[in-house]
A and B are shown apart, each in its own frame.
Chain A
Amino acid sequence: MLTDLLAQLTGESWYHEQITHIAKVPAAKTEPARVALPPILQNYLDGKGITLYKHQCKVIEVVRAGKDVIITTPTASGKTLAFNLPIFEGLLADPQGCALYLYPLKALANDQRGKLLELERETGLDLLPSVYDGDTPAGKRGRIKQVSRLILTNPHALHYYLPWHHQWSRFFSNLRYIVIDEAHRYRGVFGTNVALLLRRLERILNHYGSSPQVILSSASVANPVDYARALTGREVVSIDKGTSARGERQVLFWDALLDPSHSITTQAAKLLAFLTSAGVQTLCFTGSRMMAELIARTAHGMGARKVLPYRAGYLPRERREIESGLRERQIEGVVSTSALEAGIDIGSLDAVILVGFPGSLLSAWQQAGRAGRGSDPSLIVYIPYENPLDRYFLHHPVEFLGEERERIVIQPDNPRLAAWHLTCAAAELPLRPEEVSPKEGSLLDELAANAVLTKTPRGMIYRGRKRAHEILSMDSIAGEGIKLTCEGKLLETMDPLRARRDAYPGAVLLHRGETYVVEDLKLEEGVARLRQEKVDYYTKSMRTSVVKILTVQESHSCPSIAIERGRAQVTESFVGYKTIHFDRTISVDALDLPAHTYETDALWITFPRDISGIPPEKLLGGLHGAEHALIAMAPLLVLCERDDIDGVSTPLHEETGLPTILIFDEIEGGAGLAEVLFTSLHRLAAEALKLVSDCPCENGCPSCIYSPRCGNYNRPLDKEGAIRALCLLVEETVRD
């Protein structure tokens, strides 16, 4: 059927040979298995006609054996059932036993509660599975704390409940399992906060004499065991091989630039309309809410009547209607942001269109995994944007289809976050000297010197006046927010660092689909004033950074270049902003904002004064281009947003005295990204080299060495020089 469909597609009048490559991923055979279960649970499975797969049985055995585990099998492989079965078995055997389920978002916890209620009903267990978070009505809270044996919540809420631990003493004393679902979402600052929160939880559980098992469930990542250790402090067993059935997949690589007369949006809408009208139920993923609305509307205009947009921000009822419409095939197509990537039960579809690379292979395959019903064949269409990472995968389908995944890192050593969580811990139970590491000990001394904590015979206690738990927030490191207001009304708050980048005077901001222009930004007062105005352009700030090396933590010598990593001090200034209309810069304006200085993790590469093959006048352009390419490829190795990493390059760096490229975590205190890039520099350089040398352009373009965020307007850049510099880096970093 797919073959016919392709023949029909390539015969359409609007088709201009955009398909550059078709890859086939062979079907996978199912491996069923059996494991002895208590009759109640076995009857439940029999009643539903469910046969377990081998990997699910393995999960059951590992959890039964009392081990901590991380499950990273593919989307739709039945991960949730696999850990729910042994947990229910355990709770069946221990009538007091309790389980805590952590979800990154409230909506996911609510969705999961439905499944747990069903399992509870069918098995006749009395657990009162309950969501306990900010939305739980006051009248229900007491009973949940006293009676419920299965509580679902999110890290933000848990953070605020820990100081009230005595109210949870029944639940905490009997806690046997902690489930951390969608664990891959805990990265960057949020992930680091969650890791530190879990340490605090463990300490309180210790106080109540319990030590529960930890079960993590996550999308595929390159380093499940290391990541689980960083997040939970435990040594876990990893189960990563899925054994569920999967039909053949066809992946189409679609180069929208080959039809310059139609935008990517239009081409995606055409494809969506074509597939849905051929009876192929399709889910289309895009990067932004606006794009989701636009593609759905365009497809609708082309005659695709049963296509709807979906995004976070819709009312729960609207969302549920779309979800059940998809499951029951009432709806033929949906255009969604990553909100539908996983966690929400929508069943499986026939085809998935990825408009733009979603930032990581992890996300790409979570999204693509939505296609494929049982062992039926499925279709995936990848339509890249014009940027380096998107275009890289268009030209390198093997890398797109490969098994390799990104690493996921967090940085519990980030001094600012570690100090905050120590403060919170000391406000929960007196913090005894033997509970902290030497590194934390020096943070404690600092906190005591600043009169935040004080020493008592029972340990360090919190003595500040503000609630310890409100000093910082779980999402951001910058603390107090800037209020964005329009005619005296509060629109939203933004952390000061983001405000400098996005809410400078003259900036265009989107809020609930409306455009606003920033009139002024007063950082000290914490206010930005906006006016609502319909504009058809957008703006982008440009920044320059000065990086000072503070300490060297690790170094690697090569024949002619040197690679080091350590701590650095970054001073960033926003120098101006561009006004862009239909992808064209129409004006550049200067900005006058105070500079911001912070400490972070960095790596730097020093080159010899003369790099063979690069004439002196091309040196800076070459280094600059190589820096852009290295940063562009970083998301291939480690899960991060494009904005999390930045760099500078110079032909003569003040401290090294040599031509230098510096790359650093653009997160105050550091997020551990530079360390991963340092360790995998050879692969990073090799991918960057492939990106640049395989790009068909002549002198560099937005698909290879141009960076949309460059504070120097992408000048100077030299493609030839960049290739030479990267070649040298690749050659010299080969290790045996």
Chain B
Amino acid sequence: MRLLFGIGARFDQQLREDGYSSIPSLLTHPRFGDTAAQLLAEWKDPLDPAQVNTTLSCWLPASHPLFLQLLGLVPREKMLFFDLETMGLFGVPIILAAIGRPGASEIRITQYLACSLDEEIALLERVTEALSHASLILSYNGKSFDWTTLRERCAYYGLPFDYAPIHIDLLHHARRAYRDRLSNAQLQTVEEGILEIERTEDLPSEAVPKYYEAYLKSGNSGPLVPIVNHNQQDVATLALLLSHLLMLTAHAH
């Protein structure tokens, strides 16, 4: 009911006390009947997840658990996890991308590595090709960084970029869910404190450019190994984190 214009926490409480429990039940309500009818007309059956996402985004913060329910509306083969490694912060090449495709009980990770900086375009073409088949993507801090970077690098090379899948950034959800249990919401902290994953011999993210430079300079692929592992683990963690968050919401219900 909170999805209707004009219904905040106070009204929601009031309406429940008056015996209303869902949007369809509001159709007869003298004040909210029209808006309820309008929303139901927009939300056809079966529900269009993109439309629901748009409505949710109008009223709820990105960290609201309701967004996770969108996963139930999207077929599994239309979902992707993704994560990028770059040469620095902004305005620098992308060198590695991981795309995770969820299966019934496993996740299949495909990584695209630029073996030299001139392979970045090929990497972008493959990643955006994968994205074009997705209607929902999951990332960690991807709304500020990975997605923005991908978009900017495509613009840099003049590649088309007109994808607008539903984007669930798990950073927002983790921050909200574990606020009381963690000192910060870095992926590493979440792994250690919540998921009990211990990375052995992991490469800190900020060391990635230095290792890649070393590889470019020497031609020796040794320094690439920890980069590729790091990127792979990031996406694997994303999947585990999602399960954990979904469990939490299930418990709450």
* Residues of B in contact with A, size category: 10 to 19
Asked whether any CB of chain A lies closer than 8 Å to the CB of B155, the reply is yes
Is A430 among interface residues, defined by CB-CB distance under 8 A? yes
Asked if A462 contacts B121 (CB within 8 A), the reply is no
Which of B88-96, B136-144, B219-227 forms contacts with chain A?
B88-96
Q: Which of B89, B90, B93, B151 contacts A461 (CB 8 A)?
A: B93
Q: With A164-B152, A166-B151, A428-B156 as known contacts, state yes or no: A467 contacts B89, CB within 8 Å.
A: yes
A457 at the interface (CB under 8 A from B): yes
Complex alpha-carbon distance, A129 and B133, angstroms? 41
Whether A166 and B90, one on each chain, are in contact in the complex, defined by CB atoms closer than 8 angstroms, is no
> How far is it, in angstroms, between the C-alpha of A458 and the C-alpha of B117 when the chains are bound?
11
B235 within 8 A of A: no
Interface string of A458-490 (1 = CB under 8 A from B): 100111111111000000000000000000000
Q: Specify which chain A residues have a CB less than 8 angstroms from the CB of B209 in the assembled complex.
A: 465
Interface positions, chain B 63-120, Cβ under 8 Å from A, are 87-93, 117-118, 120
Chain B residue numbers with a CB within 8 Å of A427 are 91
CB of B152 within 8 A of CB of A462, answer no
Specify the main secondary structure of chain A where it touches its partner: mixed
Kindly state the separation between the CA atoms of A427 and B117 in the bound complex, as whole angstroms: 13
Residues in A neighbouring B93, C-beta threshold 8 A? 461, 463
A469 to B92 CA separation, bound complex (whole angstroms): 12
Instruction: Give the distance in Å from the alpha carbon of A469 to the alpha carbon of B91 in the complex.
Output: 9
A455 pairs with B88, CB closer than 8 A: no
Question: Does B19 interact with chain A (Cβ within 8 Å)?
Answer: no
Over the window 258-294 of chain A, the binary record of Cβ atoms lying under 8 Å from chain B Cβ atoms (1 yes, 0 no) is 0000000000000000000000000000000000000
Q: Are A455 and B118 in contact (CB under 8 A)?
A: yes
A439 to B157, CA, bound (A): 25
B window 115-165: CB within 8 A of A? 117-118, 120-121, 151-152, 155-158, 161
Complex CA gap A456/B92 in Å reads 14
Considering the complex, give the chain A residue whose CB is closest to the CB of B156.
Answer: A429
For the complex formed, measure the closest distance between the CB of A570 and the CB atoms of chain B, giving whole angstroms.
35
Q: Are A456 and B87 in contact (CB under 8 A)?
A: no
Q: Please give, as numbers and ranges, the residues of chain A lying within 8 Å of B118 by CB-CB distance.
A: 454-458, 461
Q: A247 interface residue, CB < 8 Å from B?
A: no
Complex interface: chain A residues within 8 A of B87 (CB): 463, 465
**A428 vs B90: C-alpha distance when bound (angstroms):** 11
Are B158 and A429 within 8 A (Cβ)?
Answer: yes
Q: Of B88, B151, B152, B158, which contacts A465 at CB under 8 A?
A: B88
Known: A456-B121, A461-B117, A463-B117. A166 touches B155 (CB 8 A): yes
Q: How large is the interface on A (under 10, 10 to 19, 20 to 34, 35 or more residues)?
A: 20 to 34
Please measure, in the bound complex, the distance between the C-alpha atom of A504 and the C-alpha atom of B157, giving whole angstroms.
Answer: 48
Kindly report which residue of chain B lies nearest to residue A427, judged by CB atoms: B91
Contact A467 B90 (CB under 8 A): yes
Rounded to whole Å, the gap between the CB of B240 and the closest CB of chain A is 31
CB-based contact A465/B156 at 8 Å: no
Given contacts A164-B152, A463-B93, A465-B209, contact A458 B157 (CB under 8 A): yes
Q: Does A347 contact B (CB under 8 A)?
A: no
Chain A residues numbered 401-457 whose CB sits less than 8 Å from any CB in chain B: 427-430, 454-457
Name the distance in Å between B85's Cβ and chain A's nearest Cβ: 13
Residue of B nearest to A470 (CB): B91
Q: B158 near A468 (CB under 8 angstroms)?
A: no
Bound CA span A455–B116, Å: 10
Q: Using Cβ atoms and an 8 Å threshold, which residues of chain A touch B152?
A: 163-164, 166
A129 to B90 Cα, complex, angstroms: 29
B157 surroundings in chain A (CB, below 8 A): 430, 458
Whether a CB of chain B sits under 8 angstroms from the CB of A581 is no
Which residues from chain A contact B158 at a C-beta distance below 8 Å? 207, 429
Give Cα A448 to B5, complex, Å: 57
Chain B residues closer than 8 Å to A469, beta-carbon distance:
91
A165 is an interface residue with CB less than 8 A from chain B: yes
| Complexed CA–CA distance, A166 and B154 (Å) | 9
> In the bound complex, what is the Cα–Cα distance between A468 and B91 (angstroms)?
8
Q: Can you report 24 residue pairs joining A to B where beta carbons are below 8 Å apart?
A: A163-B91, A166-B151, A166-B152, A166-B161, A207-B158, A427-B91, A429-B156, A429-B158, A430-B156, A456-B117, A456-B118, A457-B118, A457-B121, A462-B91, A462-B92, A463-B92, A464-B88, A464-B92, A465-B92, A467-B88, A467-B89, A467-B91, A468-B91, A469-B91
User: Given A163-B90, A456-B121, A461-B117, list of 13 further CB < 8 A pairs?
Assistant: A165-B155, A207-B158, A455-B118, A456-B120, A458-B118, A458-B157, A461-B118, A461-B156, A463-B92, A463-B93, A465-B88, A465-B92, A467-B90
